[in-house]
Chains A and B, each alone.
Chain A
Amino acid sequence: MGFVNRKWLKFLLGMSPLLFGGLSLFWGAYGISPLLTAKILLSKVFFLDATPAPELSIVWEIRLPRVVLSGVVGAALSGAGVALQGIFRNPLVDPFILGLSSGAAFGCALSVAVFPQFPIQVAAFLFSLVASFSTYMLARTQGEVSRLHLVLSGIVVSAFFSALVSILKFLVDPHKLVSIVYWLLGSFSLADWRAVGVVSLSMLAVSFPLILMRWRLNALSMGEDEARALGIPVERDRLLFIGAASLAVGSAVSVSGIIGWVGLMVPHLTRMLVGPDHRVLVPFSLAVGAAFMIFADTLARNLTAFDLPVGIITTLSGTPFFVYLMKRGAKESWGK
Chain B
Amino acid sequence: MAAILVWFQLVLFVAAGACAAPAHALTLKDAAGKDIEIALPVKRVVFLSLYDLIPVFGIWDRAAGINRWAFDSAVLKGSPELEACPSVGTGDSVNVETLLSLHPDLVITWSYKPEVTAFLVERGLKVISVWPESLRELYQVIDLYGRIFQKEDRAREVRSLMENSLAATASKVSKTPPEKRPKVLWIWTKPTTVSGGVGLQQDLIRLIGAVNPAEHIPSKQADVSLEWIVAWNPDVIFIWGSARYGPGDLASNRQWKSVGAVRNGRVYKAPAMSTWSPAICTLALWMADKAHPGCFDRTEALEAIREFHMKCFGAPLEGLALD
Contact = CB atoms under 8 A, between A and B. Distances in A.
B258 interface: yes
User: Which of B69, B193, B222, B227 has the largest count of A CB atoms less than 10 A from its CB?
Assistant: B227
A62 B244 contact: no
B222 A305 contact: yes
A170 interface: yes
A278 interface: no
A307 B189 contact: no
Interface in B203-261: 216-217, 222-228, 230-231, 233, 242, 244, 253-255, 257-258
A53 B258 contact: yes
A224 interface: no
Contacts of A28: 225, 227
Contacts of B192: 189-190, 307
B193 to A, nearest CB: 8
A175 B227 CA distance: 25
A301 interface: yes
Contacts of B254: 57, 61, 192-193
B93 interface: yes
A175 B254 CA distance: 27
A305 B228 CA distance: 9
B258 A189 contact: no
Interface residues of A, number: 31
A307 B223 contact: yes
Contacts of B72: 173
Range for the number of chain B residues in contact with chain A: 20 to 34
A46 interface: no
B191 interface: yes
B258 A57 contact: yes
Contacts of B189: 175, 178-179, 182
B255 A57 contact: yes
A58 B230 contact: yes
A190 B228 contact: no
Contact of A182 (B190, B231, B258): B190
A190 B217 contact: no
Contact of A29 (B190, B217, B231): B231
B303 interface: no
Contacts of B223: 182, 187, 189, 306-309
Interface string B176-194: 0000000000001111110
Contacts of B231: 29-30, 54
A2 interface: no
Nearest to B257: A57
A177 B188 CA distance: 13
Interface string A295-325: 0000001000111110000000000000000
Interface in B45-72: 69, 72
B115 interface: no
Given A57-B255, A192-B253, A62 B227 contact: yes
A268 interface: no
B92 interface: yes
Nearest to A193: B254
A29 B69 contact: no
Contacts of A58: 227, 230, 258
B255 A305 contact: no
Nearest to A63: B227
B255 A192 contact: yes
Given A173-B72, A179-B244, A29 B93 contact: no
Contacts of A308: 223
Contacts of B226: 62, 189-190
Contact of B233 (A54, A61, A307): A54
A301 B158 CA distance: 45
A160 B225 CA distance: 35
A138 B253 CA distance: 42
Contacts of A193: 254
Contact of A174 (B92, B222, B255): B92
Contacts of A301: 225, 227
Contacts of A53: 257-258
Nearest to B93: A170
Interface of B: 69, 72, 90, 92-93, 188-193, 216-217, 222-228, 230-231, 233, 242, 244, 253-255, 257-258
30 contacts: A29-B228, A29-B231, A30-B227, A30-B228, A30-B230, A30-B231, A54-B233, A56-B258, A57-B230, A57-B257, A62-B226, A170-B93, A173-B72, A174-B90, A174-B92, A182-B189, A182-B190, A189-B190, A189-B223, A189-B225, A190-B191, A190-B192, A190-B226, A192-B253, A301-B225, A306-B222, A307-B192, A307-B223, A307-B225, A309-B223
Q: Which 7 A-B pairs have the closest CB atoms?
A: A57-B258, A29-B227, A30-B227, A54-B258, A61-B255, A30-B231, A307-B223
